[in-house]
Structure 1
Amino acid sequence: MEKLPSQEATAKVSSIFVYPIKSCGGISVSEAPITPTGFRWDRQWMVINAKGRAYTQRVEPKLACVEVHLPKEAFQEGWEPSSSSYMVLKAPGMDVLEISLSTPQVRVKGVRVWEWTGDAVDEGDDASKWFSDYLGKPSSRLVRFNSASATRPVKTSFWSHKPVEPEYARGKQIMFSDLFPYMIASQASLDTLNEHLKDPVPINRFRPNLLIDGCEPFSEDLWTDVKINNFTFQCCMLCYRCKIPKVNQETGIEGTEPNETLKKFRSDAIVYPSRKQRGRVYFGQYLVCKDNLIAGVEGNVIKVGDHLHVLNMVSSADEVPE
């Protein structure tokens, strides 16, 4: 992989998004502490069925309409919840649900998300009834990642039955994210896509953690190493999109766009012309933080307005790992 000279201050962070419950609504914040598994609170919870398997918008698009609220101070560096700190959930036709941010004590075994199986902690019967009623799926449970004892290594693919931990992410961990701790996308890429759409879509269709502005469309495809604030990130692979971008995040209704339009100029035949064609479309790039993050150290925060510097890049996406 030939790396090209970098450019300074390529872009700025324009938005930061955290998704506390996998596949439920995101929270837009002005700053967020970074951790080895992603932004703090990101994908720390998920909803499971009676067999312990994760529900996502791929099969339950109504999850998009679950609003998740955390205390504003939860995204301040060094903040710790008290006994009166809650995550608040709202959804159409449902009463408000409060979930204590204190770690529950009931462990659940055999929780599954893609290829990973492990333990989690259960958020109780009230949360179970709330999600069971909302989804119309009895025995749904809300569980929290058991960070005290569970680990989940980064994997290259959730489509493969034999996923491999990539060399470029060796030792990196995630909670309930799909593949990697962070996802980045650019406003210019979204603007270019929307120029091709009859009905423009917002960035929440793609559920990134970082939205950046000030770079060329899809230039993020070519980045291999970037620096944001004082942190260095490795760009791992382009994000191949499932059906979730087709789900309207305000209504929970699935359509056909933007995936149909993405097929015209963001398919693997165009992005990766020399590789095996799998009918995928791409938008955004996955990241891991290369720095050794130490709990309790001040300054482990990324803020809206922080500069992004490209440290290394390649000449074509075909050189990027898939």
Structure 2
Amino acid sequence: MSTIHVVKEIYIYPVKSLAGISCQEALAEEMGFENDRRWMLLDAENQMITQREHRIMSQFYPQISDGKISIVFRDHKHEFSIDEHLSIPIETTVWEDKSEVVEVNKTTSEWFSKHLGFECKLVKIMKIGGRKHESSRLKEIFNVSLADGYPYLLVGSESLDFLNEKLKDKITVLRFRPNIVITSKKAHEEDDFDTFKIGEVQFKNVKPCGRCIMVNNDPQNGNLKKEPLKTLSTYRKVENSVFFGTNIVSLNSGIIRVGDPIVF
């Protein structure tokens, strides 16, 4: 058992591209943590909406309580039931993956449309297999959520510390929207993890995570900056990708908690 690698932070992001929620524990499932990126916003053409085009999405803050999700945006608040949805299926894509979703309700879609300033709808992925993602590296197909690629993103604490040593303006790990942050000994050692266990759950590393312009969006205020992607590109660029953190999948379901050791 490692005493170096311990779960430091856990995050879920109920609605794709909105702010996240810090958790002390979470239920790991095949598609990702329970309630993690099971919802997302679509435009009038049923195409996904993300912070890449609409940085203001980082200013919508979700919370979960008593079977409901509440969203706070500035002085406005809206809530809906976790189990709420309409019945008509909608076909969309998350990048190249076909995804079947359903709209939550018309009132929620109208609320988001009003505050984002354009027509959109909030949708939910309902079932395992509603979206499948193929790993070219592992030659496997995974049932996934509405996250960009894989269900979980793991980041080691030393990776962030190493980056911050090079930055004039320090950043937090929230720039990278991780699910699991662990204490680590060396920067980016998580890239080389294979299989490991946290709490009740066995995880498998898929590949380091290629980062996009979205990490330059400051989640505190929604302002786009040049960092950290500019600096990361000087030492973490491989071909056309800039890596930070690693994508993992769970091999079974179970609870993980802050403070759990990582067992290799």
TM-score range, shorter chain: over 0.9
Question: Is contact 2:84–2:105 with CA below 8 Å preserved after alignment?
Answer: no
- The answer for the alignment partner of 1:109 in structure 2 is 90
In structure 1, distance between residues paired with 2:126 and 2:26: 21
Aligned pairs for 1:1-322 (under 5 A) are 8-71=2-65, 85-92=67-74, 95-138=76-119, 140-147=120-127, 150-156=129-135, 164=136, 166-167=138-139, 170-268=140-238, 277-278=239-240, 280-291=241-252, 293=253, 300-310=254-264
- Deviation of residue 118 (structure 1)? 3.4
Question: Is contact 1:132–1:141 with CA below 8 Å preserved after alignment?
Answer: yes
Distance 1:154 1:58, change over 3 A: same
In structure 2, distance between residues paired with 1:230 and 1:90: 33
Distance 1:258 1:102, change over 3 A: same
Shifted more, 100-109 versus 127-136: the winner is 100-109
In structure 1, distance between residues paired with 2:209 and 2:77: 34
Contiguous gaps of at least 5 residues in structure 2: none
Question: Is contact 1:107–1:119 with CA below 8 Å preserved after alignment?
Answer: no
- Deviation of residue 28 (structure 1)? 0.2
Question: Is contact 1:10–1:309 with CA below 8 Å preserved after alignment?
Answer: no
In structure 1, distance between residues paired with 2:167 and 2:110: 39
In structure 2, distance between residues paired with 1:110 and 1:38: 21
In structure 2, distance between residues paired with 1:194 and 1:66: 26
In structure 2, distance between residues paired with 1:253 and 1:200: 15
Question: Is contact 1:154–1:165 with CA below 8 Å preserved after alignment?
Answer: no
SS, match of residue 190 in structure 2: helix
Contiguous gaps of at least 5 residues in structure 1: 1-6, 72-80, 157-163, 269-276, 294-299, 311-322
In structure 1, distance between residues paired with 2:190 and 2:196: 10
- Deviation of residue 209 (structure 1)? 0.3
Distance 1:217 1:118, change over 3 A: closer
SS, match of residue 207 in structure 2: strand
- Deviation of residue 101 (structure 1)? 1.7
- Deviation of residue 10 (structure 1)? 3.9
Larger Rg: 1
Structure 1, residues 25-79: CA drift from partner, whole Å, max 9, x if none? 10000000111111000000000001111101111111111100001xxxxxxxx
In structure 2, distance between residues paired with 1:228 and 1:98: 33
Structure 1, residues 219-273: CA drift from partner, whole Å, max 9, x if none? 11111222212322111000010011100112111111000010111111xxxxx
- Deviation of residue 15 (structure 1)? 0.3
Structure 1, residues 155-204: CA drift from partner, whole Å, max 9, x if none? 34xxxxxxx5842xx34211101111111001111011011001011111
Q: Which has the higher strand share?
A: 2
Q: Output the aligned Cα RMSD.
A: 1.7
Query: TM-score normalised to the size of structure 1?
Result: 0.78
In structure 2, distance between residues paired with 1:22 and 1:8: 33
- The answer for the alignment partner of 1:3 in structure 2 is none
The aligned length equals 264
In structure 2, distance between residues paired with 1:90 and 1:200: 27
Shifted more, 221-230 versus 31-40: the winner is 221-230
